[in-house]
Structure 1
Amino acid sequence: MALLFRRPPLPPFPAGGLLVGGAVRDWLRGVAPRDYDWAVPDPAAAARGLAAQLGGSPFALDEERGYWRVHAPGGVQHDLVPLLPGDVTADLRRRDFTVNALALTPQRRVLDPCGGRADLRARRLRMVSEANLRADPLRAWRAARFEVTLGFRLEEATGRAARQAAHDLAAGVLPRPAPERVRDEMQALLAHPDAARGVLRLEDLGLLALTLPELREGIGMVQGGFHHLDVFHHGVEALHQLLARFPDADPALRWATLLHDVGKPRARGVNPATGRTTFYGHDRIGTELTRERLTRLRLPSATVERAAALVRAHMAQLPAGEREARRFVHRRRPLLPDLLRLMLADREASRGPDSHPAVRHAYMQAIDRVLAALEEQPAPPPPLLTGRDVMALLDLPPGPAVGEALRAVAEAQALGEVTSPEEARAFVLSRQA
């Protein structure tokens, strides 16, 4: 255990300053902090001094309140706030959890008014007070995130307080945190290798209904066939499978994997001939639900659109041969290889009666075909014809027909059916015959 020994070096303390909060917690655990919070007499001067020493850039976050920030090399961040005389202990007692209610002096003396060091040793996550948690209900989400990212156990009374806060948020008794703040907690949780457990913890605490209510619609919805889990737990397991295999997966892929079947509850039907449950169109419905929910969480538009596109494509039929593999790559190139990663995680999270070894082996072979085709042609080849070429060849004005002809030529080129401008022209003319 790294706790309380092998402490990493710290940057120079600003004059008269204290290190406070999570950076002290991490330092005591033997983890080099990435985000430093300093309480200093003169934040502006301290920020300039830190920047000069570390090679970073200082700027004011809130000049009126005297909040400053320094972006240091290596992605390390330093926030500086005013240190008021005699106010340190009171400030620590207003914090979220005891393990964050710590301060460190330049002489490496730890200020610990709430028993945070004992909780660190016990790997226990305990609120400073229920009043503090309710004063900023986002701390309930943070409890789930810290439990996963720190590997601590949520203390029972803190868990009860988080559940009560979730209940009161749903009832309108407490004001809901800004979507951007919930987004940041979710992004930090999903960035962790054990994010799937964090999603289950959010559900246990009653917070998932406030965050991803559409995802909860799959709880208890049996699927059968390839699936051994209900719709909700299948999505969580798919996220687990993704991160076990692709720990570098970006946020859009993580969100898409968790939400890939979010449309199933609303697409649920029954095949009258077989009596089996069907989910026709769930990819289309899930695309819109994913886009709507991630937009409400204020995720960047590029992340929203990529996650939605992955959800829309996750039911794509994998190719049975090399030619079909080249076509697959051509049509879905912008989503590769992430789409294959999602599809693999989806399949590995499905261990129902229809998911026998031969089917799983055939699926992996199909993925290998696509990967081979992608390796053979990692980027689209230069176009053989331009729009002007097509218009002159077919005596067409600008319009959809020109674009359609160009797309057909591009696909034929990707499949190796045309390899020169002359062959491309003959191909275009043959389509008009």
Structure 2
Amino acid sequence: MKRYLVGGAVRDALLGRDVSERDWVVVGATPEQMIAAGYRPVGKDFPVFLDPKTKEETALARTERKSGRGYHGFVMDASPEVTLEEDLRRRDLTVNAMAQDDDGTIIDPYGGRKDLAAKVLRHVSESFAEDPVRILRLARFHARYAPRGFVIADETMALMRTMVEAGEADALVAERVWKETERAMLEAEKPSVYFEDLEACGALARVMPELAALRGVPQRADYHPEVDTLTHTLMCVDAAVRHGFALPVRVTALLHDLGKAATPRAEWPGHRMHEERGLPLVAQFCERLRVPNQTRDLALAVTRDHLNVHRARELRPATLLGLLERFGAFKKSGEFFEQALQSCLCDARGRLGLENCDYPVVDFLREARTVTLKVQAAEVMRDGHSGPAVSEQILLRREQALKLWKQTL
């Protein structure tokens, strides 16, 4: 019975990165021996245990054999006869298929250190193709390490394309797709790489067809020097990460322009009414991938009104008031309102050469909110109004306040 440090902890230590999580594998043991040694079993699909002292995950060395489609169709062997090399062979990438013993010696049977030095992400064996989740995981992993110069090996990308063509990506369930996508948008400095990798292997059209449809849809070059709508969309997501905005803003940046793929070709590069056309596509995307309701609501609101935000200074007071209401400006926390403005800022800065452009409309709308919030129900009721008349008066007075305020600008 021997224990080895494996996976990301070994890789990150060799890269000089901080190791925040450590995983272990044990060779030559049975589940009964692990329990007798004080380890607590936690794995449902295969033998995983928690170390009695450190609480770190420790798994028995195992092999896996494909027995069906998708990523549940596997037969596993976790007998004491499974070797360390056999366990490492079933892993996804060579840089993740290294181990370290108690003396600090690196065990690297598949060339992980060489690929790490060359900054190449390469599959360990053809068994990579047995698990479609690895397409998502590799794209996410690449997005995290692309700023360091890492690339996907040509043969690995070719294998991913073969997997998609064989229908493996169709077996991915919504929860797993969204979990990996969320992690890519939260962990990666440039999450655009994640989506670009999925597009390159053909998986994007299978798991996010609404997004894939944006490729090749042109926009007016005077507004969008990058022209291509998918390029713009991914630049918006990267902008959200660059600014450190929360996940709902990053998702909204991803979805706000889906309607441009529904614009009749005869109208290109114009996209009149793309906001309305985008609403059912955003709803469809969020329902299929089970996006959290709060994020979905933000994406729908920004999809519907992002052009109104861009031209907010030109809006009549009544129209401006309606925009503020739809963006939750009068809710106590103001979080939805701020996230909506942040999403629109990403739209403005997700353009080639305009990544740091001024966007004064954010301050304009914040000030408009402050002006309207000065009108409160207590004041209206003191003037003798009650019942439904209170709400009517609040709207009238807020509209008037906006009108007077705009006259001073």
Same-fold call, TM > 0.5?
Answer: yes
Name stretches of at least 5 consecutive residues in structure 2 with no aligned partner: 62-78, 403-409
Which residue pairs with 1:236 in the alignment? 234
Name stretches of at least 5 consecutive residues in structure 1 with no aligned partner: 1-14, 49-57, 397-401, 419-433
Which residue pairs with 2:155 in the alignment? 157
Which residue pairs with 1:338 in the alignment? 339
User: Is the counterpart of residue 282 in structure 1 residue 279 in structure 2?
Assistant: no
- Distance in 2 of aligned mates of 1:277 and 1:158: 36
TM-score by length of 1: 0.71
Which residue pairs with 1:303 in the alignment? 295
Residues 294 and 331 (structure 1), Cα distance of their counterparts in 2 relative to 1, 3 Å cut: closer
**Contact preservation (8 Å) 2:170, 2:206:** no
Residues 150 and 216 (structure 1), Cα distance of their counterparts in 2 relative to 1, 3 Å cut: same
CA-to-partner distance for each residue in 1:142-173, whole Å, 9 max, x for gaps? 2222222123211111111111112222xxx6
**Contact preservation (8 Å) 1:330, 1:411:** no
- Distance in 1 of aligned mates of 2:320 and 2:118: 55
- Distance in 1 of aligned mates of 2:124 and 2:3: 23
Partner of 1:384: helix, strand, or coil?
A: helix
- Distance in 2 of aligned mates of 1:365 and 1:300: 30
Which residue pairs with 1:113 in the alignment? 109
**Contact preservation (8 Å) 1:47, 1:68:** no
User: Is the counterpart of residue 19 in structure 1 residue 15 in structure 2?
Assistant: no
Residues 145 and 417 (structure 1), Cα distance of their counterparts in 2 relative to 1, 3 Å cut: closer
- Distance in 1 of aligned mates of 2:37 and 2:175: 29
- Distance in 2 of aligned mates of 1:175 and 1:331: 37
Letter of the structure 2 residue corresponding to residue 254 of structure 1:
R
Deviation at 1:414, TM superposition (A): 5.2
CA-to-partner distance for each residue in 1:168-218, whole Å, 9 max, x for gaps? 22xxx6762222222222122222121123322221221211221112222
Deviation at 1:382, TM superposition (A): 6.1
Which residue pairs with 2:57 in the alignment? 79
**Contact preservation (8 Å) 1:322, 1:369:** no
Residues 20 and 350 (structure 1), Cα distance of their counterparts in 2 relative to 1, 3 Å cut: closer
Deviation at 1:256, TM superposition (A): 1.2
- Distance in 1 of aligned mates of 2:400 and 2:50: 55
- Distance in 2 of aligned mates of 1:366 and 1:300: 28
User: Is the counterpart of residue 319 in structure 1 residue 301 in structure 2?
Assistant: no
Letter of the structure 2 residue corresponding to residue 25 of structure 1:
R
**Contact preservation (8 Å) 1:97, 1:126:** yes
Which residue pairs with 2:378 in the alignment? 384
Deviation at 1:381, TM superposition (A): 7.5
Letter of the structure 1 residue corresponding to residue 280 of structure 2:
E
Aligned residues: 362
- Distance in 2 of aligned mates of 1:92 and 1:331: 53
Equivalent pairs: percent with the same residue? 26
**Contact preservation (8 Å) 2:210, 2:281:** yes
Which residue pairs with 1:9 in the alignment? none
Letter of the structure 1 residue corresponding to residue 291 of structure 2:
L
Which residue pairs with 2:18 in the alignment? 32
- Distance in 1 of aligned mates of 2:161 and 2:265: 34
- Which one of 182, 186, 189 corresponds to residue 177 of structure 2? 182
Residues 146 and 269 (structure 1), Cα distance of their counterparts in 2 relative to 1, 3 Å cut: closer
CA-to-partner distance for each residue in 1:229-250, whole Å, 9 max, x for gaps? 1222221222233333x1x222
Letter of the structure 1 residue corresponding to residue 233 of structure 2:
G
Residues 313 and 118 (structure 1), Cα distance of their counterparts in 2 relative to 1, 3 Å cut: same
User: Is the counterpart of residue 203 in structure 1 residue 199 in structure 2?
Assistant: yes
Deviation at 1:326, TM superposition (A): 8.2
Which residue pairs with 1:292 in the alignment? 284
| Aligned-CA RMSD value | 3.9
- Distance in 2 of aligned mates of 1:282 and 1:322: 19
- Distance in 1 of aligned mates of 2:43 and 2:373: 43
CA-to-partner distance for each residue in 1:2-50, whole Å, 9 max, x for gaps? xxxxxxxxxxxxx9532222222112222223333222456557786xx
**Contact preservation (8 Å) 2:9, 2:23:** yes
**Contact preservation (8 Å) 2:376, 2:394:** no
Partner of 2:378: helix, strand, or coil?
A: coil
Partner of 1:35: helix, strand, or coil?
A: coil
- Distance in 2 of aligned mates of 1:197 and 1:68: 34
Residues 269 and 95 (structure 1), Cα distance of their counterparts in 2 relative to 1, 3 Å cut: closer
- Distance in 1 of aligned mates of 2:156 and 2:345: 38
**Contact preservation (8 Å) 2:4, 2:100:** yes
**Contact preservation (8 Å) 2:282, 2:299:** yes
Partner of 1:18: helix, strand, or coil?
A: strand
Letter of the structure 2 residue corresponding to residue 22 of structure 1:
G
Residues 43 and 301 (structure 1), Cα distance of their counterparts in 2 relative to 1, 3 Å cut: farther
TM-score by length of 2: 0.75
- Which one of 22, 42, 47 corresponds to residue 60 of structure 1? 42
**Contact preservation (8 Å) 2:119, 2:151:** yes
Residues 277 and 143 (structure 1), Cα distance of their counterparts in 2 relative to 1, 3 Å cut: closer
Deviation at 1:90, TM superposition (A): 0.9
- Distance in 1 of aligned mates of 2:43 and 2:394: 50
